[in-house]
Amino acid sequence: MSYLIIPEKYKPLMSMQQTEQGIKLIKEFFQQNLSTGLQLRRVTAPLFVLKGMGINDDLNGVERAVTFPIKDLADAKAEVVHSLAKWKRLTLAEYEVKPGYGIYTDMNAIRADESLGNLHSLYVDQWDWERVITADDRNIDFLKRIVRKIYSAMLRTEYLINETYPQLEPFLAREVFFIHSEELRRLYPDKTPKEREDAICREHGAVFIMGIGGKLGDGKEHDLRAPDYDDWTTPNQDGFMGLNGDLLVWNPILGRAMELSSMGIRVDRESMLRQLEMCGKEERKELYFHKKLLAGELPLSIGGGIGQSRLCMLFLQKAHIGEIQASIWPDDMRAQCAKAGIQLI
């Protein structure tokens, strides 16, 4: 089901031509800062992978991958990637990347089960990144340090865009506020998870919500996560479960929280076995990726994805992601956007 927010008296601050120039500037500048800040080298990524190897991510565990047969492989099935969390870890091992260094790539995907709206499209473009870590790095302080580096790159990008296009005024908070999803639930016990995100982001501007995937005190998850890439069950030194999270900011155009990145310290052997059992997915242990991890053939890592179109939408102060990227939208959504002055590509 599609969902559309129409901001009151919305008017784009940039022409479509300026918007395209701004997109190019943001993408070039941010990825260079991300690469430098996290010590990442760029690699080429696949658009699709073979089905049945456990390489594709299933995100929340319910999304269907776009699938097609390959004639020259006896109609073996390929899947368009959802994201590249597992593929990146395999690549770190193949390239023999050392701790403290990593890779990033342009990830393009099709997510046919998305509920379309201002922030959600069938087409997904991310900077997917992954960095090798040591066992000593598997803690919440290290996770926070990486989050701050990424957010600093966002702040520098915002400054460049505001200098280049003076009609755009800065609005990002100067620092990230960190909170665990269980703390957030206790703070707003009568709200839904999305309402909690709006409330905390309205107050702090930029928030990293930790511990996404496990059940909270009310028996419900803040949000779902697949059991075999992020580690959401290992206890951390703050007394909560989980070494992952989502980076969100307050979007003043839409008047709501906006997720920019999902990331985390990845599962080690013990946490993957635990999470597969918890989710009733123990049969995955026989898949290619999972066998290599269980055999100790993959490095420990931290990684995530950063939405390219979302970041451009935020910095260029657009009301709809369709003002940044070309995609397919329901006819009624296109009509409502046109009436409101929202120029979908």
The set of residues, in sequence order, having a beta carbon less than 8 Å from that of 74 and lying 6+ positions away, is none
Which residue among the candidates 35, 57, 125, 256 is catalytic per the annotation? Answer: 57
Task: Categorise residue 296: left if φ over 0, alpha if ψ from -120 to 50, beta otherwise.
Answer: left
Which among 35, 58, 79, 111 is annotated as catalytic?
Answer: 111
Q: Which amino acid is at 82?
A: H
259 belongs to the catalytic site: yes
Active-site hit among 63, 183, 238, 259: 259
Catalytic annotation present for 113: no
Q: What pairing do the DSSP bridges indicate for beta strands 256-265 and 301-307?
A: antiparallel
Q: Residues 198, 246, 268, 323: which is the catalytic one?
A: 246
Alpha carbons 26 and 315: distance in angstroms, whole number: 8
- Residues 1 and 162: their CA atoms lie apart, in Å, by 35
**CA separation for the pair 53, 35 (Å, rounded):** 29
Q: Are strands 76-80 and 48-50 parallel, antiparallel or unpaired?
A: antiparallel
Nearest to 272 by CA among 258, 289, 260: 289
Is residue 297 annotated as part of the catalytic site, yes or no?
A: no
Phi/psi of residue 215, nearest 5 degrees: -70, 140
Q: Is-catalytic flag, 126?
A: yes
Alpha helices in the chain (DSSP H): 16-38, 85-95, 140-164, 181-187, 193-204, 269-278, 288-294, 308-315, 331-339
Other CB atoms within 10 Å distance of the CB of residue 292: 16
Task: Please tell me which residue in 35, 83, 121, 126 is annotated as part of the active site.
Answer: 126
Q: Which of 35, 181, 261, 262 is catalytic?
A: 262
CA distance 141 to 125: 29
**Residue whose token pair is 């995530």:** 304
Alpha-carbon dihedral of residues 100, 101, 106, 107, nearest 10 degrees?
A: -60
The residues annotated with a catalytic role in the active site are: 57, 111, 126, 246, 259, 262
